[in-house]
Amino acid sequence: MNIEVFRKFEEKAFYALVGFLGLVALVGFGAAHYMETHGHVVTGMTNQVVWGIPHVFAIFLIVAASGVLNIASIGSVFGKPIYKARAPLSALLAIAMLAGGLAVLMLDLGRPDRLIIAMTYLNFKSVFAWNVILYTGFFTIVAVYLWTMMERKMKKYTIDAGFTAFIWRIILTTGTGSIFGFLVARQAYGSALLAPMFIIMSFSYGLAVFIVVQSVMYRWIGLTLNPAIVRRLKNLLATFVAAVLYFTIVYHITNLYFTKQHEFERFILLDGGVYTNLFWIGQIMLGTLLPLALLLHPTKGENCVYVIWAALLVIIGAFAQLYVIIIGGQAFPLDLFPGMSQSSSFFDGVIHGYSPTLPEFLLGIGGVAIALLITTIAVRVLKFVPHDDFHHITPDGSD
């Protein structure tokens, strides 16, 4: 295949991908309109479970947006050449994923137009109001950071912008985790561990997404990733996955220490049905232990294909973990009087059911499509493909 034919094929493939992602995004908007006009009665959400599967997609995209910027931070702030070459793509993914996540979040509220009130009348006692500032600030700071990396005249400001972005994304993820950590109306929440746990979750989710996106880009243009870079990224991903496992264990051990949390722990770990299955099979087995086995294997861990599979499994485990935290945490009732039974017309003491519907899934997938659409177009228009200086890379992946 000559170069001209290849370029025509690549151009057709690009427009086909953009058309497909645009269609999926439109379907997501259509699902949001359907839920808006018919009411949330067409969803699986109730007065007890008010955050459904769209919030799982939204929180994943928002948390991963913060974590994917970790690549740029390591490159700019800590001066690592391997990561510095990937910093622009990292910043682009951060902006794209946050846009997709916030689109889902706003469209799932039922009255997205009310966001104007939230932005103009800030209640600083509300963690949600904090996040309005954190999200808009993240967009601005990362956009400036990206500008300093892409514009030659602005290179001298890259380290300062990178350090600011590094601090801001830590604060942003702390704010996202604090939404649950400060919420005492659910038995699963109200824990100071959730904020740092969300930070390390963002590192793991973001790096997994970056590995998959970068691998697809390289395959698209016919490039092969240097084995030393694969080794560095897979070791970092294994570290983050193990750290998430550590925080998960500490979170549940902390709950088991308090008698009032025993029933909730029994619900999640033993008797929770779909939540228990998602925890042990989705989060622990598929999303943690299997990826670690692949990443740390002496031969498979050196193979780019297995590293990609491990990253995909981490993403699957991420959705399982967030489903358990967000929906499982709402499903279990607040224990108002520990050691005593309770009942009322307001479903006190009752485990709440939730079954996600098709419109909810379509809205969540639409947010993912928005993030991928932004990334695809930006990569096509500007130079976001990482270009490595192999003089700085040794065979063991150090630099």
- Give residues with Cβ within 8 angstroms of 156, minimum separation 6: none
d(CA 371, CA 142): 15
Under 8 Å between Cβ of 86 and 210: yes
Give the Å distances, CA to CA, from 60 to 261, 287, 325, 354: 26, 14, 12, 19
pLDDT category at 222 given cuts 50, 70, 90 is confident
Lowest mean pLDDT, pick from 38-42, 160-164, 338-342: 338-342
Q: Kindly state the average pLDDT of the residues 118-132.
A: 74
Counted residue by residue, the chain has a size of: 399
Task: Give a yes or no: residue 345 inside a domain.
Answer: no
Q: Which domain holds residue 211?
A: 17-336+351-382
pLDDT category at 5 given cuts 50, 70, 90 is very low
What is the pLDDT at residue 385? Answer: 76
What is the pLDDT at residue 204? Answer: 94
Task: Give a yes or no: residue 343 inside a domain.
Answer: no
What is the pLDDT at residue 29? Answer: 92
Q: Kindly state the average pLDDT of the residues 265-283.
A: 92
Q: What are phi and psi of 352, to 5 degrees?
A: -90, 140
The string of DSSP codes covering 292-323 is HHHHHSTTGGG-HHHHHHHHHHHHHHHHHHHH
Task: Give a yes or no: residue 9 inside a domain.
Answer: no
What is the pLDDT at residue 81? Answer: 77
Task: Give a yes or no: residue 4 inside a domain.
Answer: no
What is the pLDDT at residue 209? Answer: 95
Statement: residue 264 has pLDDT above 90: no
Name the more confident of 208 and 330.
208
User: pLDDT tens across 79-92, in order?
Assistant: 777 888 888 899 99
Task: Give a yes or no: residue 341 inside a domain.
Answer: no
User: Nearest CA to 331 among 104, 55, 109, 47?
Assistant: 47
What is the pLDDT at residue 346? Answer: 66
The string of DSSP codes covering 99-132 is HHHHHHHHHTSS-GGGHHHHHHS--TT-HHHHHH
Statement: residue 381 has pLDDT above 90: no
State whether residue 186 is helix, strand or coil.
coil
pLDDT category at 2 given cuts 50, 70, 90 is very low
Q: For the chain, what is the domain count?
A: 1
Task: Give a yes or no: residue 168 inside a domain.
Answer: yes
Task: Give a yes or no: residue 377 inside a domain.
Answer: yes
At 157, the amino acid letter reads: Y
Q: Find the Cα–Cα–Cα–Cα dihedral 225, 226, 228, 229, rounded to 10°.
A: -40
Mean pLDDT of the chain: 85
User: pLDDT tens across 91-102, in order?
Assistant: 999 999 999 999
Give the Å distances, CA to CA, from 151 to 90, 138, 146, 293, 387: 16, 20, 9, 41, 16
Question: Please, what's the b/e burial string for 234-269 (b: 16 or more CB within 10 A of its CB; e: otherwise)?
Answer: bebbbebbbbbbebbeebbeebeeeeebeebbebbe
Tell me the CA end-to-end span of the chain in Å, nearest whole number: 37
What is the pLDDT at residue 110? Answer: 66
What is the pLDDT at residue 1? Answer: 45
**Residue 186 maps to which CATH number?**
1.20.1630.10
Task: Give a yes or no: residue 390 inside a domain.
Answer: no
pTM of model > 0.85: yes
CA 269, 271, 276, 277 dihedral sign is positive
pLDDT category at 350 given cuts 50, 70, 90 is confident
Under 8 Å between Cβ of 150 and 159: no
What is the pLDDT at residue 340? Answer: 65
